[in-house]
Chain A
Amino acid sequence: MPEATKYQDPATIQRVLHTGRSIAIVGLSANTLRASHFVGYYAQRHGYQIIPVNPREEQVLGEESFNSLTAVGDTVDIVNVFRDPAAVPAIAKEAVAVGAKALWLQFGVISDEGAAIAADAGLDVIMDRCLKVEHARYIGRMHWLGLNTEVVTARRPVRR
């Protein structure tokens, strides 16, 4: 397993997943084969409100797509980013401006500058982790695929 960094804290990840309701996905593609679409589809299935942010799309997953975070209007809890790392600092500033509670940068979206902008403004920051995988690890069914959730417990899970 790759080493966890300071932006991959398990307690933070769980808090963000448990308390967040709406997820603005920056770079959400309408192409069903793209990773962003996998994550959006999965999160929507699990009851999160998905807000696509992608100027190249009009609608994704049945939801209106916005040109930028600041154009959204609705409350954004989690900003989930599928963009070039160079675009992250600007996105982080917008996330702060719209009052988001967390900035979540996907696998490979690594920007220490962007992460610091959000963290300094008091947002929870998660970097180089997949939202779908982390949800499946703690709340979902990742263990059905033989993946190492690292969850070790003798407590009976409460039925969902």
Chain B
Amino acid sequence: MQERHVAGMMELPERQFGFQTRALHAGARPEPETGARAVPIFQTSSYVFEDPESAAAYFNLQEYGNTYSRIMNPTVAAFEERIANLEVGAGAVAFASGLAAQSSTFFTLLSAGDHVVASRALYGGSITQLKHLFKKLSVELTFVDPDDPNEWHQATTERTRLFFGETIGNPGGNVMDIEQIAKVAHDHSIPLVMDNTFATPYLCRPIEWGADIVIHSATKFLGGHGTSIGGVVIDSGDFDWSNGKFAVIAEPSDAYHGLSFHETFGMYGFLMKLRSETLRDLGGCMSPFNAFLFLQGMETLPLRMDRHVSNALEIATWLEARSDVVSVSHPAIHYRENAGLLEKYLPKGAGAVFCFELHGGRSAGQNFIRNVQLFSHLANVGDAKSLIIHPASTTHRQLSDDELQAAGIAPGTVRLSVGIEDVEDLQWDLEQAFARSN
């Protein structure tokens, strides 16, 4: 008995490893059967049970065991543990996309008649999801100025169940004062949910500032290769779901034969509910192959991010000095008067996605994009390659003019996601595009 235990002993590291070390190693222990060092791609839909008792124990959640890959998969789990570790969370659940991660979080926490307070400056798809999809499910919504804690407080009602914002807004570049907004949320006994896609845990870890749940579109910087769509939800494990507002987690669940996720799983209650009910029922799981590709990407996350942010800052500063540019919305420029905010939340750099506005409105924006040669014209961000798009006619097309303005987008706005190429080559490309467009 004792010997068996000692043989399987997995010790905590004797040292608190740094971020790059964990980006390479966390979640990816060598495979016990074969010794494979890379995380194997467990491309299987299902798993053979040892015996009927084990099968029952897995389905009853009495024992940790693989059942079916819609709910769990060892390759996906390695990705989940790695991002949970980097975001200093209790755990994570991966999804087929960033929007699947978001909708599943909202589904888990909200019921008809509940209310959400969200930042006005979100990714267009997130605004649409909240405004139209969740409205259909009778969830009420108030958009607020992300920079004004008082607006968040004022908008909160008895039925408000969560706050939602982005660390760095897409694409306006506003940076949320996470600590302040988390305080307001906690004063109302509700969680702050942060989309940390644009910052990545290398630049900012919202949980360290009081956020309760962090969501990523892994499609972007976590992967970095632009090959795969994926998303993930990380829970801090700190929020008290038994505070009276979250019967969905604290009370016995009809969808899981009367189990109370909070009582049974404590700090893992939300994550267990998210996986064994919402992921099970909505079904938007991440494929093992995509998880494998995200794991490869995350190994170099710190290296890439350093290059992304330095290239982006250099391009933004260079653009700002040009007379053919109306304005540049890079956070370092946007918050020049309030540099303390960036120093606090983004000391390593303020991301690599920002906008600039051209004279001449919509047609000037579209014309400029026609003329670039190295920037790829596509609807994504966070690729190691530089990307360009005209938000008003693409990613933010569903938004009204007022909503566009609120999100910091003008008709002549062009969005860049600055990659890790030689920065001189990126400047050359933009320079020649300016010359051809004039």
A binds B: yes
Q: Does A72 contact B (CB under 8 A)?
A: no
Chain B 60-72 near chain A by CB (<8 Å), digits 1 or 0: 1111111000001
> In the bound complex, what is the Cα–Cα distance between A152 and B61 (angstroms)?
25
Q: Is the CB of B22 within 8 A of A152?
A: yes
Instruction: Report the nearest A residue to B36, measured CB to CB.
Output: A156
Given A107-B267, A156-B32, A157-B30, CB of A142 within 8 Å of CB of B64: yes
Q: Does B8 contact A (CB under 8 A)?
A: yes
Given A2-B237, A19-B2, CB of A147 within 8 Å of CB of B268: yes
Given A14-B11, A144-B66, A146-B93, CB of A152 within 8 Å of CB of B5: no
Given A108-B266, A145-B91, A151-B29, CB of A138 within 8 Å of CB of B9: yes
> In the bound complex, what is the Cα–Cα distance between A21 and B2 (angstroms)?
8
Q: Does B35 contact A (CB under 8 A)?
A: yes
Given A21-B1, A152-B26, A155-B30, CB of A145 within 8 Å of CB of B35: no
Q: Does A140 contact B (CB under 8 A)?
A: yes
Interface residues on A, range: 35 or more
> In the bound complex, what is the Cα–Cα distance between A135 and B412 (angstroms)?
58
Interface members, chain B 6-30 (any A CB < 8 Å): 6-13, 17, 21-22, 25-27, 29-30
Q: Is the CB of B1 within 8 A of A145?
A: no
Q: Is the CB of B80 within 8 A of A47?
A: no
Q: Is the CB of B89 within 8 A of A148?
A: yes
Residues on A with beta carbons closer than 8 Å to the beta carbon of B238: 1-2
Residues on B with beta carbons closer than 8 Å to the beta carbon of A146: 72, 76-77, 79-81, 84, 91-94, 271, 275
Interface residues on B, range: 35 or more
CB distance from B363 to the nearest CB of A (A): 48
Given A1-B237, A158-B8, CB of A45 within 8 Å of CB of B80: no
Q: Is the CB of A148 within 8 A of B29?
A: no
Q: Is the CB of B252 within 8 A of A33?
A: yes
Residues on A with beta carbons closer than 8 Å to the beta carbon of B74: 144
Residues on A with beta carbons closer than 8 Å to the beta carbon of B5: 17-18, 139
Residues on B with beta carbons closer than 8 Å to the beta carbon of A110: none
Interface members, chain B 247-284 (any A CB < 8 Å): 252, 257-260, 263-264, 266-268, 271-272, 275
Q: Is the CB of B62 within 8 A of A145?
A: no
Specify which of B7, B25, B61, B260 is in contact with A160 (CB 8 Å cutoff). B7
CB distance from A64 to the nearest CB of B (A): 21
Q: Does A99 contact B (CB under 8 A)?
A: no
Residues on B with beta carbons closer than 8 Å to the beta carbon of A149: 10, 81
Instruction: Report the nearest A residue to B53, measured CB to CB.
Output: A45
> In the bound complex, what is the Cα–Cα distance between A142 and B4 (angstroms)?
18
Instruction: Report the nearest A residue to B8, measured CB to CB.
Output: A160
Q: Does B33 contact A (CB under 8 A)?
A: yes
Q: Does A126 contact B (CB under 8 A)?
A: no
Selecting from A34-42, A84-92, A111-119, the interface stretch reads: A34-42
Q: Does B141 contact A (CB under 8 A)?
A: no
Q: Is the CB of B32 within 8 A of A145?
A: no
Q: Does B102 contact A (CB under 8 A)?
A: no
Residues on B with beta carbons closer than 8 Å to the beta carbon of A122: none
Residue from the set B8, B30, B57 with the largest chain A CB neighbour count within 10 Å: B8
Q: Is the CB of A144 within 8 A of B30?
A: no
Q: Does A143 contact B (CB under 8 A)?
A: yes
Residues on A with beta carbons closer than 8 Å to the beta carbon of B63: 42, 45
Q: Is the CB of B89 within 8 A of A1?
A: yes
Chain B 87-101 near chain A by CB (<8 Å), digits 1 or 0: 011111110000000
Contacts A/B (CB < 8 Å), 9 sampled: A1-B236, A33-B260, A143-B29, A144-B74, A145-B64, A146-B72, A151-B10, A157-B30, A159-B32
Question: Can you list the 6 inter-chain pairs with the closest CB atoms, starting with the nearest?
Answer: A146-B80, A147-B91, A107-B266, A148-B84, A141-B64, A160-B8
| Given A14-B9, A148-B84, 13 other A-B residues pairs in contact with their CB atoms under 8 A | A18-B2, A32-B60, A47-B1, A130-B266, A136-B64, A138-B10, A138-B12, A143-B78, A144-B64, A144-B72, A146-B77, A146-B84, A157-B10
Q: Taking beta carbons and an 8 Å cutoff, which residues of A are in contact with B?
A: 1-2, 10-11, 14, 17-19, 21, 32-35, 38, 41-42, 45, 47, 107-108, 130, 133, 136, 138-160
